[in-house]
């Protein structure tokens, strides 16, 4: 995606002097240069977010410098989701971390059921980029696949996370049965399927 900026920094000029505008990342010192106050950044990336210094330079006077913050919005992607093993009767925590701008909102599912705090002894807690699903007293029925869904206005993504007991084989090679969880996301409609074979 291309992005256009207007650098509103001014410097007195003399006839025949060249005025150059710079937009420089304040943290990294790297940036973009334009011969006029308009600057186009081609194919801007999310790691180019940050505070920039806009300056007008010429060979007549000291540069005029203004600061501007650039925020690049992007849909969520889940950067961390880990399977967890817990014994019956113990406390278990599943965690899901998603990067997104604007910040992602989280939902948790087990099979085709959306989970909520207080139901079946679980608590869902969202703090910034991280959502946790806590089981205060794990029982056999709690074992299985859970789906963490991260959503913002630009899109959504999901990850499957397994809560398992001691000695369980996660990949299903030595299991008597195997299961496949699928989550179909279309706009704001969620369809969750669980197939056991």
Give the pLDDT of residue 80: 94
pLDDT at 177 over 70: no
Q: Could you give the count of Cα atoms lying within 13 Å of 136 in the half-sphere of its Cβ? A: 8
Give the pLDDT of residue 196: 43
Distances (CA, A) of 89 to 57, 123, 166, 191: 68, 16, 12, 31
Give the pLDDT of residue 16: 46
Domain boundaries defined on the chain: 3-70, 74-196
8 A C-beta contact, residue 130 and residue 104 = no
* Least trusted range by pLDDT, from 9-23, 54-68, 141-155, 179-193: 179-193
pLDDT at 37 over 70: no
Cα 26–Cα 31–Cα 34 angle in degrees, nearest 5: 125
Q: The domain 74-196: what is its CATH number?
A: 2.60.40.10
Sorted by sequence, the CB contacts under 8 Å of residue 62 that are 6+ apart come out as 11
Q: The domain 3-70: what is its CATH number?
A: 2.60.40
């Amino acid at each position: 995606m291309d992005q256009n900026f207007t650098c509103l920094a001014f410097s007195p000029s003399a006839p025949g002097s060249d005025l150059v505008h710079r937009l420089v990342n304040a943290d990294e010192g790297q940036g973009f240069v334009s011969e006029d106050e308009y600057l186009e950044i081609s194919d801007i990336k999310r790691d180019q977010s940050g505070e920039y210094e806009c300056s007008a330079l010429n060979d007549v006077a000291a540069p005029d410098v203004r600061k501007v913050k650039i925020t690049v919005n992007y849909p969520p992607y889940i950067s961390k989701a880990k399977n967890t093993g817990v014994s019956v009767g113990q406390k278990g925590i599943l965690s899901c971390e998603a990067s997104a701008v604007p910040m992602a909102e989280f939902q948790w599912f087990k099979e085709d059921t959306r989970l909520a705090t207080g139901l079946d002894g679980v608590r869902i807690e969202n703090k910034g980029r991280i959502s946790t699903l806590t089981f205060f007293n794990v029982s056999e029925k709690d074992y299985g696949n859970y789906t963490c869904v991260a959503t913002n206005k630009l899109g959504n993504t999901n990850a499957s996370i397994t809560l398992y007991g001691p000695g369980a084989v996660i990949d299903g090679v030595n299991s008597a049965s195997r299961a496949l969880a699928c989550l179909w996301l279309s706009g704001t409609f969620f369809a969750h399927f669980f197939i056991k074979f």
